[in-house]
A = this chain, B = another copy of it.
Amino acid sequence: MSNLQNDLFLRAALGQTTERPPVWLMRQAGRILPQYRALRANFPDFKAFVKTPEAAAEATIQPVDELGVDAAIIFSDILVVPEAMGLDYEMIEAKGPRFPKVIEQAADVAALDAGAAAATRLDYVYAALRLTKSQLAGRVPLIGFAGAPWTIFAYMVEGGGSKTFSKARRMLYTDPELSHALLQKITDTTIAYLRGQVAAGADLLQIFDSWAGELPPAHYATFAVPYLRQICEAIPEVPKTVFAKGAWFALPELAELPCQVIGLDWNITPQYARQVVGTGKTLQGNFDPCALYAAPAQVRAEVQAMLEAFGPQRHIVNLGHGVYPDTPLDGVRAFVDAVRAYAFES
Protein backbone atom coordinates (compact mmCIF):
# COMPACT_ATOMS: atom_id res chain seq x y z
CA MET A 1 0.00 0.00 0.00
CA SER A 2 2.95 2.28 0.62
CA ASN A 3 3.41 2.90 -3.09
CA LEU A 4 -0.14 4.21 -3.56
CA GLN A 5 -0.61 7.96 -3.85
CA ASN A 6 -4.22 7.65 -2.67
CA ASP A 7 -4.78 4.70 -0.34
CA LEU A 8 -7.94 6.07 1.28
CA PHE A 9 -10.07 3.24 -0.13
CA LEU A 10 -7.83 0.45 1.19
CA ARG A 11 -7.40 2.11 4.57
CA ALA A 12 -11.16 2.44 4.96
CA ALA A 13 -11.63 -1.19 3.89
CA LEU A 14 -9.15 -2.33 6.55
CA GLY A 15 -10.78 -0.22 9.24
CA GLN A 16 -7.96 2.29 9.54
CA THR A 17 -8.76 5.91 10.32
CA THR A 18 -9.31 8.16 7.30
CA GLU A 19 -9.77 11.91 6.98
CA ARG A 20 -12.88 11.46 4.84
CA PRO A 21 -14.68 8.43 3.40
CA PRO A 22 -13.41 7.21 0.02
CA VAL A 23 -15.82 7.17 -2.92
CA TRP A 24 -16.32 5.16 -6.10
CA LEU A 25 -19.36 4.01 -8.07
CA MET A 26 -20.41 0.57 -9.21
CA ARG A 27 -20.45 0.69 -13.04
CA GLN A 28 -18.41 3.91 -12.99
CA ALA A 29 -16.58 2.57 -16.06
CA GLY A 30 -19.53 2.79 -18.41
CA ARG A 31 -22.01 4.69 -20.44
CA ILE A 32 -22.26 7.70 -18.13
CA LEU A 33 -18.88 8.86 -19.51
CA PRO A 34 -18.64 10.30 -23.03
CA GLN A 35 -15.10 8.89 -23.24
CA TYR A 36 -16.50 5.42 -22.60
CA ARG A 37 -19.15 5.78 -25.29
CA ALA A 38 -16.47 6.82 -27.78
CA LEU A 39 -14.30 3.84 -26.84
CA ARG A 40 -17.25 1.46 -26.91
CA ALA A 41 -18.12 2.58 -30.45
CA ASN A 42 -14.96 0.85 -31.68
CA PHE A 43 -16.38 -2.55 -30.70
CA PRO A 44 -19.58 -3.75 -32.33
CA ASP A 45 -19.49 -6.67 -29.88
CA PHE A 46 -19.44 -6.07 -26.12
CA LYS A 47 -17.53 -9.30 -25.49
CA ALA A 48 -14.78 -8.31 -27.90
CA PHE A 49 -14.44 -5.08 -25.89
CA VAL A 50 -14.12 -7.01 -22.63
CA LYS A 51 -11.54 -9.34 -24.17
CA THR A 52 -9.25 -6.53 -25.42
CA PRO A 53 -6.93 -5.69 -22.49
CA GLU A 54 -5.94 -2.26 -23.87
CA ALA A 55 -9.59 -1.22 -24.18
CA ALA A 56 -10.55 -2.67 -20.80
CA ALA A 57 -7.66 -0.83 -19.14
CA GLU A 58 -8.65 2.42 -20.80
CA ALA A 59 -12.29 2.08 -19.67
CA THR A 60 -11.11 1.21 -16.16
CA ILE A 61 -9.01 4.36 -15.84
CA GLN A 62 -11.45 6.81 -17.46
CA PRO A 63 -13.50 7.44 -14.29
CA VAL A 64 -10.33 8.04 -12.28
CA ASP A 65 -9.32 10.75 -14.74
CA GLU A 66 -12.77 12.17 -15.29
CA LEU A 67 -14.48 11.90 -11.91
CA GLY A 68 -11.62 11.72 -9.42
CA VAL A 69 -12.89 8.57 -7.70
CA ASP A 70 -10.75 6.91 -5.05
CA ALA A 71 -10.64 3.45 -6.65
CA ALA A 72 -10.66 1.88 -10.11
CA ILE A 73 -12.56 -1.34 -10.80
CA ILE A 74 -11.44 -3.52 -13.67
CA PHE A 75 -13.76 -3.26 -16.65
CA SER A 76 -15.14 -6.75 -17.23
CA ASP A 77 -18.28 -8.86 -16.80
CA ILE A 78 -19.27 -11.45 -14.22
CA LEU A 79 -20.32 -13.86 -16.99
CA VAL A 80 -16.77 -14.48 -18.15
CA VAL A 81 -16.69 -17.22 -15.49
CA PRO A 82 -19.46 -19.45 -16.93
CA GLU A 83 -17.96 -18.87 -20.35
CA ALA A 84 -14.56 -20.06 -19.10
CA MET A 85 -16.31 -23.13 -17.66
CA GLY A 86 -17.62 -23.96 -21.11
CA LEU A 87 -21.04 -22.31 -21.11
CA ASP A 88 -20.98 -19.64 -23.78
CA TYR A 89 -23.21 -16.54 -23.68
CA GLU A 90 -24.22 -13.71 -25.97
CA MET A 91 -24.63 -10.12 -24.83
CA ILE A 92 -27.67 -8.72 -26.61
CA GLU A 93 -27.71 -4.93 -26.88
CA ALA A 94 -30.23 -3.24 -24.56
CA LYS A 95 -31.52 -6.66 -23.49
CA GLY A 96 -28.76 -8.33 -21.53
CA PRO A 97 -27.07 -11.71 -21.55
CA ARG A 98 -28.45 -14.89 -23.09
CA PHE A 99 -27.09 -18.43 -22.78
CA PRO A 100 -28.00 -20.52 -25.84
CA LYS A 101 -27.48 -23.67 -23.75
CA VAL A 102 -28.39 -23.87 -20.06
CA ILE A 103 -27.66 -26.28 -17.21
CA GLU A 104 -30.52 -28.74 -16.76
CA GLN A 105 -29.11 -32.07 -15.60
CA ALA A 106 -26.14 -33.89 -14.10
CA ALA A 107 -24.47 -34.46 -17.47
CA ASP A 108 -24.50 -30.71 -18.09
CA VAL A 109 -22.69 -30.05 -14.81
CA ALA A 110 -20.25 -32.90 -15.41
CA ALA A 111 -19.34 -31.46 -18.79
CA LEU A 112 -18.25 -28.13 -17.30
CA ASP A 113 -14.61 -27.31 -16.68
CA ALA A 114 -13.77 -25.90 -13.28
CA GLY A 115 -10.99 -24.51 -11.13
CA ALA A 116 -7.62 -23.64 -12.60
CA ALA A 117 -8.40 -25.43 -15.88
CA ALA A 118 -11.25 -23.00 -16.49
CA ALA A 119 -9.59 -19.94 -14.97
CA THR A 120 -6.61 -20.12 -17.35
CA ARG A 121 -9.05 -19.13 -20.10
CA LEU A 122 -9.38 -15.76 -18.39
CA ASP A 123 -5.85 -14.63 -19.22
CA TYR A 124 -7.29 -11.58 -20.97
CA VAL A 125 -8.64 -10.32 -17.63
CA TYR A 126 -5.28 -10.80 -15.93
CA ALA A 127 -3.64 -9.00 -18.83
CA ALA A 128 -6.11 -6.12 -18.47
CA LEU A 129 -5.38 -5.93 -14.74
CA ARG A 130 -1.60 -5.87 -15.27
CA LEU A 131 -1.90 -3.19 -17.93
CA THR A 132 -4.28 -1.11 -15.78
CA LYS A 133 -2.05 -1.45 -12.76
CA SER A 134 0.91 -0.24 -14.76
CA GLN A 135 -0.98 2.67 -16.29
CA LEU A 136 -2.54 3.72 -12.99
CA ALA A 137 0.99 4.03 -11.63
CA GLY A 138 -0.22 3.94 -8.03
CA ARG A 139 -2.76 6.75 -8.30
CA VAL A 140 -5.58 4.71 -6.70
CA PRO A 141 -6.15 1.06 -5.74
CA LEU A 142 -7.44 -1.40 -8.33
CA ILE A 143 -10.50 -3.55 -7.54
CA GLY A 144 -10.94 -7.01 -9.02
CA PHE A 145 -14.29 -8.76 -8.96
CA ALA A 146 -16.40 -11.81 -9.69
CA GLY A 147 -20.05 -12.80 -9.43
CA ALA A 148 -21.09 -14.76 -6.36
CA PRO A 149 -21.70 -18.47 -6.99
CA TRP A 150 -25.49 -18.21 -6.52
CA THR A 151 -25.74 -15.34 -9.03
CA ILE A 152 -23.62 -17.18 -11.61
CA PHE A 153 -25.67 -20.34 -10.98
CA ALA A 154 -28.85 -18.31 -11.58
CA TYR A 155 -27.65 -17.21 -15.02
CA MET A 156 -26.36 -20.67 -15.98
CA VAL A 157 -29.64 -22.40 -15.13
CA GLU A 158 -32.04 -19.63 -16.13
CA GLY A 159 -30.21 -18.75 -19.34
CA GLY A 160 -30.38 -14.99 -18.83
CA GLY A 161 -32.00 -12.33 -16.71
CA SER A 162 -35.47 -13.06 -15.36
CA LYS A 163 -38.25 -11.42 -13.39
CA THR A 164 -38.50 -14.42 -11.08
CA PHE A 165 -35.48 -16.69 -11.67
CA SER A 166 -38.00 -19.49 -11.17
CA LYS A 167 -36.06 -22.04 -13.24
CA ALA A 168 -32.89 -21.51 -11.23
CA ARG A 169 -34.75 -21.37 -7.94
CA ARG A 170 -36.76 -24.46 -8.81
CA MET A 171 -33.57 -26.52 -9.09
CA LEU A 172 -32.65 -25.66 -5.49
CA TYR A 173 -35.87 -27.38 -4.41
CA THR A 174 -36.01 -30.24 -6.88
CA ASP A 175 -32.33 -31.20 -7.06
CA PRO A 176 -30.30 -29.79 -4.18
CA GLU A 177 -27.49 -32.28 -4.81
CA LEU A 178 -27.00 -31.18 -8.41
CA SER A 179 -27.34 -27.56 -7.29
CA HIS A 180 -24.51 -28.00 -4.81
CA ALA A 181 -22.37 -29.74 -7.42
CA LEU A 182 -22.78 -26.82 -9.80
CA LEU A 183 -22.24 -24.23 -7.07
CA GLN A 184 -19.04 -26.00 -6.05
CA LYS A 185 -17.70 -26.00 -9.61
CA ILE A 186 -18.49 -22.30 -9.92
CA THR A 187 -16.82 -21.64 -6.56
CA ASP A 188 -13.66 -23.57 -7.48
CA THR A 189 -13.41 -21.61 -10.71
CA THR A 190 -14.08 -18.30 -9.00
CA ILE A 191 -11.36 -18.93 -6.43
CA ALA A 192 -8.80 -19.75 -9.13
CA TYR A 193 -9.96 -16.71 -11.10
CA LEU A 194 -9.73 -14.33 -8.16
CA ARG A 195 -6.29 -15.66 -7.22
CA GLY A 196 -5.26 -14.88 -10.78
CA GLN A 197 -6.63 -11.37 -10.36
CA VAL A 198 -4.62 -10.86 -7.17
CA ALA A 199 -1.48 -12.15 -8.90
CA ALA A 200 -2.17 -9.64 -11.67
CA GLY A 201 -2.39 -6.73 -9.26
CA ALA A 202 -5.91 -6.48 -7.80
CA ASP A 203 -5.71 -4.71 -4.43
CA LEU A 204 -9.19 -5.70 -3.23
CA LEU A 205 -11.79 -8.16 -4.51
CA GLN A 206 -15.52 -7.52 -4.65
CA ILE A 207 -18.03 -10.38 -4.91
CA PHE A 208 -21.33 -9.34 -6.53
CA ASP A 209 -24.35 -11.39 -5.47
CA SER A 210 -26.80 -9.53 -7.68
CA TRP A 211 -29.68 -11.99 -7.26
CA ALA A 212 -29.26 -12.61 -3.54
CA GLY A 213 -32.62 -10.99 -2.84
CA GLU A 214 -34.49 -13.64 -4.83
CA LEU A 215 -33.82 -16.37 -2.27
CA PRO A 216 -35.67 -17.20 0.93
CA PRO A 217 -33.43 -16.89 4.00
CA ALA A 218 -33.04 -20.66 4.44
CA HIS A 219 -31.90 -21.08 0.84
CA TYR A 220 -29.49 -18.19 1.08
CA ALA A 221 -27.96 -19.80 4.17
CA THR A 222 -27.67 -23.18 2.40
CA PHE A 223 -26.85 -22.34 -1.22
CA ALA A 224 -25.08 -18.99 -1.02
CA VAL A 225 -23.32 -18.21 2.25
CA PRO A 226 -21.14 -21.36 2.42
CA TYR A 227 -19.72 -20.66 -1.05
CA LEU A 228 -19.09 -17.01 -0.22
CA ARG A 229 -17.23 -18.26 2.83
CA GLN A 230 -15.08 -20.64 0.78
CA ILE A 231 -14.09 -17.77 -1.50
CA CYS A 232 -13.29 -15.38 1.35
CA GLU A 233 -11.24 -18.02 3.16
CA ALA A 234 -9.31 -19.05 0.06
CA ILE A 235 -7.87 -15.60 -0.60
CA PRO A 236 -6.49 -14.07 2.59
CA GLU A 237 -3.96 -11.92 0.71
CA VAL A 238 -6.25 -8.96 -0.03
CA PRO A 239 -9.34 -7.41 1.56
CA LYS A 240 -12.69 -8.56 0.21
CA THR A 241 -16.09 -6.91 -0.22
CA VAL A 242 -19.30 -8.93 -0.35
CA PHE A 243 -22.26 -7.14 -1.93
CA ALA A 244 -25.41 -9.24 -1.68
CA LYS A 245 -28.13 -7.07 -3.19
CA GLY A 246 -31.50 -7.48 -1.51
CA ALA A 247 -30.19 -9.90 1.13
CA TRP A 248 -30.97 -7.73 4.17
CA PHE A 249 -32.22 -10.91 5.88
CA ALA A 250 -28.75 -12.49 5.62
CA LEU A 251 -26.89 -9.52 7.06
CA PRO A 252 -26.18 -11.30 10.38
CA GLU A 253 -24.54 -14.19 8.48
CA LEU A 254 -22.69 -11.92 6.08
CA ALA A 255 -21.32 -10.09 9.11
CA GLU A 256 -19.61 -13.37 10.15
CA LEU A 257 -17.81 -13.89 6.83
CA PRO A 258 -14.04 -13.42 6.73
CA CYS A 259 -14.38 -10.34 4.55
CA GLN A 260 -13.61 -6.74 5.45
CA VAL A 261 -16.39 -4.83 3.67
CA ILE A 262 -20.14 -5.39 3.30
CA GLY A 263 -21.90 -3.68 0.39
CA LEU A 264 -25.39 -2.29 1.05
CA ASP A 265 -28.27 -1.52 -1.29
CA TRP A 266 -30.49 1.55 -0.78
CA ASN A 267 -33.26 -0.38 1.01
CA ILE A 268 -31.14 -0.60 4.14
CA THR A 269 -30.68 2.36 6.42
CA PRO A 270 -27.07 2.86 7.58
CA GLN A 271 -28.27 2.71 11.18
CA TYR A 272 -29.89 -0.71 10.68
CA ALA A 273 -26.85 -2.09 8.87
CA ARG A 274 -24.41 -0.88 11.50
CA GLN A 275 -26.56 -2.29 14.26
CA VAL A 276 -26.65 -5.74 12.65
CA VAL A 277 -23.08 -5.84 11.30
CA GLY A 278 -21.43 -4.28 14.33
CA THR A 279 -18.25 -2.25 14.17
CA GLY A 280 -15.97 -5.04 12.92
CA LYS A 281 -16.52 -4.41 9.23
CA THR A 282 -16.54 -1.48 6.83
CA LEU A 283 -19.88 -0.68 5.17
CA GLN A 284 -20.02 0.30 1.52
CA GLY A 285 -22.90 2.12 -0.13
CA ASN A 286 -25.69 2.99 -0.34
CA PHE A 287 -26.77 6.10 -2.24
CA ASP A 288 -29.91 5.64 -4.31
CA PRO A 289 -28.78 5.69 -7.97
CA CYS A 290 -32.02 7.54 -8.81
CA ALA A 291 -31.00 10.45 -6.58
CA LEU A 292 -28.30 11.24 -9.17
CA TYR A 293 -31.03 12.45 -11.54
CA ALA A 294 -31.69 15.38 -9.19
CA ALA A 295 -30.08 18.81 -9.54
CA PRO A 296 -26.48 19.01 -8.21
CA ALA A 297 -27.44 21.04 -5.14
CA GLN A 298 -29.98 18.38 -4.16
CA VAL A 299 -27.46 15.60 -4.80
CA ARG A 300 -25.03 17.33 -2.45
CA ALA A 301 -27.70 17.63 0.25
CA GLU A 302 -28.63 13.95 -0.10
CA VAL A 303 -24.94 12.95 0.10
CA GLN A 304 -24.54 15.02 3.24
CA ALA A 305 -27.53 13.29 4.83
CA MET A 306 -26.15 9.85 3.91
CA LEU A 307 -22.71 10.65 5.32
CA GLU A 308 -24.22 11.78 8.59
CA ALA A 309 -26.36 8.66 8.79
CA PHE A 310 -23.30 6.40 8.35
CA GLY A 311 -21.31 8.36 10.89
CA PRO A 312 -17.54 8.62 10.98
CA GLN A 313 -15.11 5.88 9.86
CA ARG A 314 -15.50 2.41 8.32
CA HIS A 315 -17.57 3.75 5.44
CA ILE A 316 -16.81 3.57 1.72
CA VAL A 317 -19.21 5.73 -0.24
CA ASN A 318 -20.88 4.13 -3.22
CA LEU A 319 -24.31 3.70 -4.73
CA GLY A 320 -26.70 0.99 -3.61
CA HIS A 321 -26.53 -0.47 -7.14
CA GLY A 322 -24.68 0.15 -10.40
CA VAL A 323 -25.12 3.65 -11.81
CA TYR A 324 -27.88 3.71 -14.45
CA PRO A 325 -26.54 4.33 -18.00
CA ASP A 326 -28.66 7.47 -18.57
CA THR A 327 -27.54 9.20 -15.36
CA PRO A 328 -26.50 12.82 -15.99
CA LEU A 329 -22.78 13.37 -15.54
CA ASP A 330 -23.47 16.51 -13.50
CA GLY A 331 -25.24 14.42 -10.89
CA VAL A 332 -22.37 11.94 -10.72
CA ARG A 333 -19.84 14.75 -10.38
CA ALA A 334 -21.86 16.39 -7.62
CA PHE A 335 -21.94 13.03 -5.81
CA VAL A 336 -18.19 12.43 -6.00
CA ASP A 337 -17.27 16.05 -5.27
CA ALA A 338 -19.56 16.23 -2.23
CA VAL A 339 -17.78 13.25 -0.69
CA ARG A 340 -14.34 14.59 -1.54
CA ALA A 341 -15.21 17.89 0.13
CA TYR A 342 -16.38 16.18 3.29
CA ALA A 343 -14.20 15.82 6.37
CA PHE A 344 -14.80 13.61 9.37
CA GLU A 345 -14.82 15.57 12.58
CA SER A 346 -11.61 14.89 14.43
Residues of chain B lying within 8 A (CB to CB) of residue A215: 267
Q: Mark A285-313, 1 if CB is under 8 A from B, else 0.
A: 00011110111001000000000000000
**Chain A interface residue count: which class?**
20 to 34
Check A166 for interface membership: any CB of B closer than 8 A: yes
- Supposing A173-B293, A248-B249 touch, asked if A324 and B166 sit within 8 A by C-beta, the answer is yes
**If A173-B291, A272-B249, A294-B174 touch, does A267 touch B166 (CB 8 Å cutoff)?**
no
CB distance from A25 to the nearest CB of B (A): 15
A293 touches B174 (CB 8 A): yes
Tell me the A residues contacting B by CB distance below 8 Å.
161, 163-164, 166, 169-170, 172-174, 213, 215-217, 219, 246, 248-249, 266-269, 272, 288-291, 293-295, 298, 320-321, 324, 326
Please give the distance in Å from A164's CB to the nearest CB on chain B: 6
Residues of B within 8 A of A326 (CB): 166
Q: Which of A248, A268, A293, A326 has the most B CB atoms < 10 Å from its CB? A: A293
Which of B246, B288, B324 meets A267, CB within 8 Å? Answer: B246
A302 to B, closest residue via Cβ: B173
Question: A267 touching B174 by the CB < 8 A rule?
Answer: no
Assess A290 versus B249: contact at CB under 8 Å? Given A266-B216, A324-B164: no
Which residues of chain B are within 8 angstroms of A164 by Cβ–Cβ distance? 289-290, 321, 324
Find out whether the CB atom of A269 lies under 8 angstroms from the CB atom of B173: no
Beta-carbon nearest neighbor of A294 in chain B: B173
* Structural contact, B269 and A166, CB atoms closer than 8 A: no
With A164-B324, A324-B164: A267-B249 Cβ-Cβ less than 8 Å: yes
Q: Which residues of B contact A166 (CB under 8 A)?
A: 289-290, 293, 324, 326
Q: How far is the CA of A272 from the CA of B248 in the complex (A)?
A: 12
Contacts of A170 on B, CB cut-off 8 Å? Answer: 290, 293
Of all chain B residues, the one with the shortest Cβ separation from A266 is B216
Closest to A293 in B: B170
Q: Let me know if B249 and A268 touch, CB within 8 A.
A: yes
Q: Are A269 and B324 in contact (CB under 8 A)?
A: no
Residues of B within 8 A of A298 (CB): 173
What's the nearest-Cβ distance from chain B to residue A306, in Å?
10
With the chains together, A295 CA to B173 CA distance in Å? 9
Q: Check A216/B288 contact, CB under 8 A, given A164-B324, A174-B293, A324-B166.
A: yes
Q: Which residues of B contact A289 (CB under 8 A)?
A: 164, 166
Question: Which single residue of chain B is at the shortest CB-CB distance from A212?
Answer: B267
Contacting residues, chain B, for A272 (C-beta < 8 A): 249
